[in-house]
Amino acid sequence: MTKDKSPSIKVALADDHVLLRNALSGLIDGFGNCKVILQCSTGKELQGQIRKGIRPDVVLLDLNMPEMNGYDTAAWLQQDFPDIHVLMLTMYDSELSMIKLLQSGVKGFLKKDIAPDELKFAIQSVMESGYYYSNRSTGKLVNLFRKSEDGVKLQRNMLSDQEIRFLQLACSDLTYKEIAQQMSLNPRSVDTLRDQLFFKLDVKSRVGLAMIAIKQGVVTI
């Protein structure tokens, strides 16, 4: 009797660029532990197929699609199928844009020129830790966050009330200047607070902080 050798990670692709989608499909199928089970041109098509009973573990979404864009598709998946992990294919790299995507339920971001080994790492990371971010130290840190009460308590004890408040505001669309006003601090103090959190949490950007805050339960989406 032979053992089932079917790949453990089922992947769906939604992108209206057929050549890119086909290239990604061939690449992912070659990873060995992944299989593309669904390809769609729009978020609407993906929605229809999932409603019919197809259940991927990971969905790679293009941000700009006709009929139903990546924002709306991710938000629908977060609402109706929260166990499906969403990775967004995007050329946008502004921190506020990424934070808005996190609020929509996106678990990580991929540039369309991503290297094959990084794509494989992203899929594995989002399955293992729930999130993917290109700064690998963030990926390691996310692994520390558990759903257990003890894990959350331990991490919160590392942060002051002021740091927790800053994390909450960093997950909004406020600029750093506006965050300073909300916290009644001068902008330089907010910069210092941000840099302290970068060092303490071993991340390098506001998006990394937002991912940690969401995963940690400091903010909810």
CA separation, residue 24 to residues 46, 63, 116 (Å): 16, 16, 9
* Measured torsion, CA atoms of residues 148, 150, 155, 160, in degrees rounded to the nearest 10: 120
Domain range for 192: 149-216
Residues 127, 51, single domain; the answer is yes
Residue 143 falls inside a structural domain: no
**Of 75, 97, 132, which marks where a domain is finished?**
132
Instruction: List the CATH number of the domain containing 79.
Output: 3.40.50.2300
Number of domains observed in the structure of the chain: 2
Residues 127, 25, single domain; the answer is yes
What tens-digit pLDDT sequence spans the chain (221 residues)? 444 555 689 999 999 999 989 999 999 999 989 999 999 999 999 999 999 999 999 999 998 888 888 889 999 998 899 889 999 987 766 666 777 777 778 888 888 788 899 999 999 988 987 878 765 434 433 443 333 334 444 355 567 888 888 988 988 888 999 999 999 999 998 998 898 888 877 788 888 888 778 777 777 65
Strands 58-62 and 108-110 come out as unpaired
Residues 22, 103, single domain; the answer is yes
Residue 138 falls inside a structural domain: no
Instruction: List the CATH number of the domain containing 166.
Output: 1.10.10.10
